[in-house]
Each structure stands twice: as C-alpha cells, then as structure tokens.
Amino acid sequence: MANVVVVGAQWGDEGKGKIVDWLSERADVVARFQGGHNAGHTLVIDGTVYKLHVLPSGVVRGGKLSVIGNGVVLDPWHLVKEIATVREQGVDISPETLMIAENTPLILPLHGELDRARESASAVAKIGTTGRGIGPAYEDKVGRRVVRVADLADRATLETRVGRLLAHHNPLRRGLGMDEVNGEQLVQELLDIAPEVLKYAAPVWKVLNDKRKAGKRILFEGAQGALLDVDFGTYPFVTSSNVIAGQAATGTGIGPGGIDFVLGIVKAYTTRVGEGPFPTELLDDDGDRLGTRGHEFGTTTGRKRRCGWFDACLVRQTCATSGVTGIALTKLDVLDGFETLKICVGYDLDGKRMDYLPTAADEQARCTPIYEEVPGWTESTEGARSWADLPANAIKYVRRIEELIECPVALLSTSPERDDTILVTDPFQD
C-alpha cells in the first residue's frame, strides 16, 4: 500500500484539512511533519466544525494514530489547550491515538515575545509573521540550543538546556529593551507542563518505520504552502521551515524511500495572507467577490486573505519542487457565476516573458501577469460528486489547469463537506 504526502502547492489555505480528513479514512497513521500552531486547518464533519492548529487532522477520526513529527515546533501550552478544546467536542485523544516525537523542539513564551518584538520594531518591510514564536524556535533548533520534548523528563538536563538558551536570549532581549527571562521560573513552568506532554512522547521514527514494514498506510500532513518554503518560497516573506514534500522524510524519520505519492493541494484561484509578492492579486470587485464567497479569513489569525486569479506558473513551479504526483483542486464552487475567468500563464519582466517566478525579490516585484481568459459558468458546482454533475465550462477550466501546470487532477473538491469530493485517482493505490 502507498504512503502519501499532502502538501499545499500555493501560499497555504488551500483546503488541506478537508483533503487530509477525507484521505484519513483510508489511512492507518496521520503524521504532521513541519510547521507549528501558526497553521490552521478547518474540518467540517457532520455539521461540526473543528479548527486544528498543531494536532494532525486525523485526530477527529477514530481508530487512527496521529503523530507530531520532529520537523514540527511545538508550543506545549498550546498543545494542552488544543487537546482540551477538541475533547470538549467529543474527540478521544490518548497516548494510544496521539504520539509526539521525542526530538520535537519546543516553542517557549520567550520565542513568541521575540517574534512580536522584532515584527513591531522592524523599520523595513514586515515579514507578516503570526507572532507565535515559530521562527525564533526554528532558529534555536538550528543554533543547537532549543529545548526538546525528551529534555522535559530530567530536571538537570532541562536546566542545562535552559541555561544555554538564555545565554543567547537574555543579551538579545536587553538589546531590544526587554526584561530578561528568569531561568529558574522557566524551568519550573516546563516541569509543570511536562507530565501533560511526556505521556505522548515516543520514538516516532521507529513507530513509523515499523508501521511501514507492517504494510500500514501512512498519510504525511504538511502545513502552510510550498510558496512559503524557507528555500523555495517568496523569500523573505516565508515561514521558517521547509514545506515541500521532501520535508516529510526528514520531519518524521521515515526516509525518502517511504514516500510513494505526493498530493499537492491547489485552490481554484489564489490567496495569500500577510506580506510579500502576489502577481495575480485583485484589488477590485472580483477580488472582493472571491474573498466573500470563499470565506477567506485565516483560521489561526482571522486576517483577511488577499485574493487573485489562478497562477499556473507558480503551481507548475511548486509541483516540480515537491515532485507532485497529482493535485487536489479545491474551492471550484467559489468560481460559480463568473462570466469570464483568468489564468496566469506567464509574467512580463521588463519586456521579457518568464514562465516561472524569478528568485530575486526586486524582479518578483516587477513581474506583471500575462493572462489567458477562459469562459466561466452560471450553473452551480457546489456539492458535485461526479464529473457528470459539473458544467461543461467548469470541466474545461479544470482540464486547462492540468495542461498548464503539467500535473493531473487526482481529487476535486466542491464544498467544505468531506463527501463533496470527486475521486479521479486514489493516492493510496500504489
């Protein structure tokens, strides 16, 4: 049986939560492999809305093992709060249904404080961070001074880790005019929360490899989108981790040979939250219409998303860097009623045609989209569950996207409800 990686192929908010939930019915294990609680996945199941931030989408489905991999940065206090919230909605979460990698780095209060202080003090362009400490936690991971889940089990180790961490952070905080962190108090706060986290701790790399050997189906769930990847995104307006599919291996310890199918989630138009380049952004009635019909507000931040036409160049680019096998096209129904639709098929950079978004930030800012117009449709696609339910022009639109991004559609989503999905190729059939 195939193991499947799900990645966002735009700037996030593509509808990964619903697709992962839909696929989780066929999976035995669902594993998060990067990001933190800056991500937001909204699931609608039997009329109940679940808003998840760090918990894998599989937790709302009984009989599945959910895993938080070492590629994630974890705020332990947020984790405990999110578990309590989901339990109140009737979801059973226990060490039998949720595991956290022992080598997962922790987000501490000082990370969020530093994140927000930097953003508010920035004299140049803001990055658009959520201010939740994700970036500073990844910095400390790379700097070999982060506190990890396993460190919570031993006070002496924890004191050493916190001491090393504060040797870096307290001078930095002084320079920013912030109060220093009390090391003893931080250690005690971590020891207080430790029992609530350690009961889920496990050697996730071993668990996943054992599951793979046993023929179990593993679904790897990413957060954000490939255009926010720290290497291949619109730098510096990116997240602090690798988002592309290759991170599923390093973020869980499964090894690249354990990945059989990469499913890229693609919205039928384009959105992004926060700062950064956005060639097809619409600052007119069409943009407002997309935002209103698509309910484009961030699950985590509540921020209004910027909206624009579908950008085939960007999606073709992310399909290449993630090795996407097939895409799940979402929110097609939001385009219902548009007389004409536009698809970006290239960029004009100072009179030169480009078929990809250049790396240099100044060149990205000068790129203007080259559009191809296609006819829209007046009929409703909402709730369609087969190709026969779709208007002819909607099918033509989907087929044209496949051609332009050089990747086939594996799934087509026509509403937030999990069953309103057209299956073309089952990713789990290797």
Q: What is the pLDDT of residue 188?
A: 98
pLDDT tens digits, 359-394: 999 999 999 999 999 999 999 999 999 999 999 999
Q: What is the pLDDT of residue 1?
A: 62
Helices (H) and strands (E) in the chain, counts: 12, 18
> How far is 411 from 26, CA to CA, in rounded Å?
14
Q: Which helix (H) or strand (E) holds 68?
A: strand 65-68
Q: What is the pLDDT of residue 48?
A: 81
Bond into 236 cis (ω within 30):
yes
Nearest to 137 by CA among 70, 65, 212: 70
Quote the strand ranges of 195-276, DSSP E.
201-202, 218-221, 261-267, 270-272
> How far is 53 from 225, CA to CA, in rounded Å?
14
Per-residue CA distances from 175 to 110, 127, 137, 138, 347 (Å): 14, 21, 19, 21, 43
Q: What is the pLDDT of residue 167?
A: 97
Residue whose structure tokens are 């073709």:
316
> How far is 11 from 393, CA to CA, in rounded Å?
26
Per-residue CA distances from 48 to 54, 60, 413 (Å): 19, 11, 18
Whether the pTM exceeds 0.75: the reply is yes
Q: Which helix (H) or strand (E) holds 81?
A: helix 76-88
Give the chain's largest Cα–Cα span.
67
> How far is 317 from 303, CA to CA, in rounded Å?
26
Q: What is the pLDDT of residue 122?
A: 62
Q: CB atoms < 10 A from the CB of 306, how many?
A: 22
Annotated active-site residue in 13, 28, 140, 229: 13
Instruction: Give the burial string for 62-87 (b: 16+ CB within 10 Å, else e).
Output: eebbbbbbbbbbbbbbbbeebbeebe
**Residue spans of alpha helices (H) in 143-274:** 155-175, 183-198, 204-213, 247-250
Nearest to 82 by CA among 197, 219, 240, 192: 197
Q: CB atoms < 10 A from the CB of 419, how many?
A: 9
Annotated active-site residue in 21, 28, 37, 41: 41
For residue 13, indicate whether it is catalytic: yes
Angle at 299 between CA 359 and CA 254, to 5 degrees: 65
Going by their DSSP bridges, the two strands 270-272 and 306-308 should be labelled as antiparallel
pLDDT per residue, tens digit, the chain (430 aa), is 689 999 999 998 898 878 887 888 889 999 999 999 877 777 777 778 888 899 998 888 878 899 999 999 999 999 999 999 999 999 999 999 999 999 999 999 999 999 888 877 665 555 556 778 999 999 999 999 999 999 999 999 999 999 999 999 999 999 999 999 999 999 999 999 999 999 999 999 999 999 999 999 999 998 889 999 999 999 999 989 999 999 999 999 999 999 999 999 999 999 998 889 999 999 999 999 999 999 897 655 667 899 999 999 999 999 999 999 999 999 999 999 999 999 999 999 999 999 999 999 999 999 999 999 999 999 999 999 999 999 999 999 999 999 999 999 999 999 887 788 999 999 988 5
**DSSP tag of 226:** G
Q: Which residues contact 60 (CB under 8 A, 6 or more apart)?
A: 21, 43, 45, 50, 52, 86, 91
